[in-house]
Structure 1
Amino acid sequence: MPFHQQEFTTRPPHPPAGTPPDSRTTHPWYNVGPGIWELLLNGDAEHKSVLQWWEPNNISTQIEPITHTYIEEVCFIEGGLEDLSLKQAWGVGAYAYREPGMKHGPYRASAEGCLQFVKVVPPSLRA
């Protein structure tokens, strides 16, 4: 799905903490990992803008830092995440821009969880 023009909308509530990953009641949110949910705002798998919800105190399942093959931009809207490798936490308003291959994480969500805006861009579209 290519990006398309749209006016402001109100986001649907994210799934409650503990919702089973295969629950049919979460649409339009979808599960991307244990305790992690996404809402596609625009685009497709290769080039997209999403809201990503981490359930409270959720710890990512990987134990090694994460890397991607794409550019990733992230801004926290509610709550925050702690980078367990760096032993540093960030909250509302924190912003990251990651080039392909940049190591980050693993993460633990704050006690209130973390709602973040995430933009994924293929490296071929680098500005």
Structure 2
Amino acid sequence: MAKPEFEFFPVADVEFTPCDGVVPELTERVLARDEEAGTATRILRFAPGTDTTPNGVQVHDFWEEVYILEGAITDLRLGQTFTAGQYACRPPGMKHGPWTAPDGALTFEVRYRTRAGDGS
């Protein structure tokens, strides 16, 4: 199964829901999801004061592209802060995070696989 087909719709009609993990300040608005592949397009919201340290360093078996729409996030492992207007493209296996967002942030993310089942 692939992500569903959608024509334009108001993104605000999709509620923010808790993300996987144990950080309640981290929520997502899933715009499209392929349950079978475990991939999605989403808006990720870091509430002010978010610290994802309890979730640890993240590593995925899929591609992830992230564009920061608002605010700033700091990668604690790298000791670097990234701000609105910046973009990341992470191949499968790339380590990232944990993150803090003292003033909050909003990102747009696309997660996908380029070949069925192999994560690349």
Q: Smaller-chain TM-score range? A: 0.7 to 0.9
Letter in 2 for 1:11: A
Q: For 1:29 and 1:67, how far apart are their aligned partners in 2? A: 23
1:120 aligns with 2:111: yes
- When normalised by structure 1's length, the TM-score is 0.76
Cα offset for 1:81? 0.4
1:57 aligns with 2:49: yes
1:94 aligns with 2:86: yes
1:43 aligns with 2:33: yes
Cα offset for 1:65? 2.4
Q: For 1:10 and 1:71, how far apart are their aligned partners in 2? A: 23
Cα offset for 1:116? 0.4
How many residues align? The count is: 112
Letter in 1 for 2:12: R
Percentage identity across paired residues of the two chains: 29
Cα offset for 1:122? 2.2
Letter in 2 for 1:29: F
Question: What residue number does 2:18 align with?
Answer: 31
1:5 aligns with 2:6: yes
Cα offset for 1:86? 1.0
Contact 2:11/2:31, CA 8 A, preserved across alignment: no
- When normalised by structure 2's length, the TM-score is 0.80
Letter in 1 for 2:49: N
- Encode CA deviations 1:46-96: one digit per residue, 9 max, x unaligned: 231100101112110337422111110100001010011111101101100
Gaps of 5+ in 2: none
Q: What is the root-mean-square deviation of aligned Cα atoms in Å?
A: 2.3
Q: What secondary structure does 1:62 align onto?
A: helix
